[in-house]
């Protein structure tokens, strides 16, 4: 592949760290995004992604540029697509961002360019959505342009596994496409695993996340059962985890959030129906995980009742509203559903999250921990950020519902755990 600039379409949680990784490896990178706010931040040297700090952007300012014009990608040897692939309101795949990007790239496609899709989708997306758009006008894949799928494996907030150290999967439409994609990612990844097709890579990505979804659903269901049986689910999991083989630990919680786990199983379920197959196991896991905010609210209501209080009129402090510790991402966060349900029950809600300063959809601003706990009837640990002072929460709140099991080392009668 010629030593030319690289293009990254979509500068979000996946695209911006990827663009930075290529720039740090010595490549000229043209990032494209249609969000004017992101472009303004990048022009000013400000990062809007917690995994990327301003100093890292400044260090690569000469190699990394940002634009909203697809024509600026014409000089790029490769273009990597990292656009959102969300679900529609009816929980079906929404490929509108991907289709728009494919059409715009096709309008400026240059001879010999490599196009790689990283956005998660169902098996067949690369071949059925991107290939026809890019082949328009008689272009031949593997000769006039190259096309591959390589699933993103970004885990926001994580530092022990990086883009460099995490193996990269690639699967091209043709062997030449695969070879070009392998050479591209070898610049920034220590290990590149070559697969036989884009469909194999697409399904591998879904398997990674569905594996977690199914196992989280299992322990969530067991947590509900253990509660009815008056057995401590956390002690059960700790005990099972002592087995050195044949067991992998998963912990229960208020539900799944983020850009992968709550979405990916539905992509495969939707696709499976085209093959007269209903993935009941996968769908049951999704149903269980979606039900967990309701289970958690029931547990909160019961805790208040046991203390002689009604949820209506009670002041409840939610601690952590991001979907996972250490990040400010609230996409699909179960905290938002819990907040909505508690409000419907008549509770007064305040929240504390050092990574999320406001929730405009609820007309709520975040509070510091002192203000959140002041006058609270109950505190709910929804997402336990690393800097959350658990001893202080248990000391200052008259009642604590711990949905993450993080207070297990604290012996206090005021604590109720999931």
Instruction: Give the residue numbers annotated as catalytic, written as ranges.
Output: 260
Q: Taking Cα atoms as reference points, which of 161, 72, 147, 91 lies closest to residue 117?
A: 147
The answer to whether the CB of 360 falls within 8 A of the CB of 368 is no
For residue 2, report the phi and psi dihedrals to the nearest 5 degrees: -60, 150
Helix (H) or strand (E) holding 67: strand 64-67
The answer to whether the CB of 343 falls within 8 A of the CB of 313 is no
How far is Cα 271 from Cα 205, in angstroms, rounded to an integer? 14
How far is Cα 254 from Cα 338, in angstroms, rounded to an integer? 9
Structure tokens at 368: 């510091």
How far is Cα 223 from Cα 216, in angstroms, rounded to an integer? 10
How far is Cα 68 from Cα 82, in angstroms, rounded to an integer? 14
For the chain, the 3-state helix, strand and coil shares in percent, each to the nearest 5, are 40, 15, 45
E-strand ranges in 269-326 read 315-319
Residues in the chain, total: 418
Residue by residue, DSSP assigns 180-237 as HHHHHHTTT-S-EEE-S-HHHHHHHHHHHHHHHHHHHHHHHHHHHHHHHTT--HHHHH
How far is Cα 182 from Cα 148, in angstroms, rounded to an integer? 10
């Amino acid at each position: 592949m010629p030593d030319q600039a690289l293009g990254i379409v979509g500068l979000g949680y996946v695209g911006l760290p990827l663009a930075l990784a290529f720039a740090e490896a010595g490549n000229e990178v043209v990032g494209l995004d249609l969000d004017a706010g992101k472009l303004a931040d990048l022009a000013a040297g400000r990062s809007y992604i917690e995994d990327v700090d301003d100093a890292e952007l400044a260090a690569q300012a000469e190699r990394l540029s940002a634009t909203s014009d697809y024509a600026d990608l014409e000089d790029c040897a490769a273009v990597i697509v990292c656009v959102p692939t969300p679900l529609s309101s009816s929980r079906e795949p929404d490929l509108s961002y991907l289709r728009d990007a494919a059409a715009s790239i096709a309008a400026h496609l240059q001879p010999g360019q490599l196009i790689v899709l990283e956005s998660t989708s169902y098996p067949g997306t690369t071949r059925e959505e991107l290939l026809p758009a890019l082949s328009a006008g008689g272009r031949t894949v593997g000769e006039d342009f190259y096309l591959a799928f390589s699933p993103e494996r970004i885990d926001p907030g994580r530092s022990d596994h990086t883009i460099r150290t995490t193996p990269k999967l690639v699967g091209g439409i043709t062997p030449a496409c695969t070879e070009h994609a392998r050479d591209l990612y070898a610049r920034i990844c220590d290990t590149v695993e070559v697969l036989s097709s884009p469909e194999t890579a697409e399904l591998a990505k879904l398997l990674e996340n569905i594996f977690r979804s199914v196992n989280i659903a299992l322990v969530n269901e067991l947590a509900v059962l253990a509660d009815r049986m008056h057995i401590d689910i956390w002690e059960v999991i700790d005990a099972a985890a002592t087995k050195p083989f044949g067991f992998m630990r998963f912990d229960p919680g208020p539900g799944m959030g983020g850009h992968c786990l709550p979405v990916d199983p539905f992509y495969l379920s939707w696709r499976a129906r085209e093959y007269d197959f209903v993935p009941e196991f996968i769908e049951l896991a999704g149903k269980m995980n979606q039900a967990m905010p309701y289970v958690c609210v029931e547990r909160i209501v019961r805790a208040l009742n046991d203390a002689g209080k009604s949820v209506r009129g009670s002041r409840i402090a939610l601690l952590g509203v991001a979907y996972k510790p250490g990040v400010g991402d609230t996409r699909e966060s179960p905290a938002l559903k819990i907040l909505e349900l508690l409000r419907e029950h008549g509770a007064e809600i305040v929240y504390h999250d050092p990574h999320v300063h406001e929730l405009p959809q609820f007309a709520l601003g975040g509070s510091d921990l002192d203000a959140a706990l002041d006058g609270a009837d109950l505190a709910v640990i929804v997402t336990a950020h690393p800097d959350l002072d658990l001893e202080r929460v248990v000391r200052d709140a008259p009642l604590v519902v711990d949905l993450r099991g993080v207070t297990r080392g604290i012996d206090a009668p005021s604590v109720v755990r999931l």
